[in-house]
Amino acid sequence: MGGMIRWSLAIALALLLVLHVLCVPFYTGASISPTLHWRLEHARLTVKRTPPRSMEGFFVAHNSEGLRFAPDFHVYGPGDWFVRLPLWLPITLVGSLTSLAWTLHLRARRIAARHGCARCGYARAGLATGTPCPECGAPATEKTAP
């Protein structure tokens, strides 16, 4: 389970980074419904709700403007609003979670390799099998038994 989460986060981060790189020179968008539209441009995602209008098909075009880093939203009236989310926000969030997941995984592997306590990391070498950890009192498991 933990491996699937770590790898899913790593893949999501890679996809977000590719999306970020691709949306700098190009922009794309489409209509989700006659009132809801999305657009990915200038390294940010815009979701817009407008009064009913004709649907746009999917499109890709060349981007002539620079990057914009600030999130933005505005409400013009009932059913007429937009929200802009810069891609650096989900990249930062997913990158932080990916880093945390891999750090915890590598720490657990390092502790298990030296037969450390799963709770506090105390080196259990020389302790009798089944003896609780003298540091924190955690019961011995098969993984941590010397």
Residue 67 pLDDT > 90, yes or no? no
Look at the pTM and tell me if it is higher than 0.85: no
Helix (H, G, I), strand (E, B) or coil at 102: helix
Identify which of 85, 87, 89, 86 has the alpha carbon closest to the alpha carbon of residue 97. 89
1 pLDDT above the threshold of 70? no
Quote the CA–CA distance of 78 and 34 in Å, as a whole number: 15
Tell me how far apart the 2 most distant CA atoms of the chain are, in Å.
75
Q: Per-residue pLDDT tens for 90-120?
A: 999 999 999 999 999 998 888 777 777 878 8
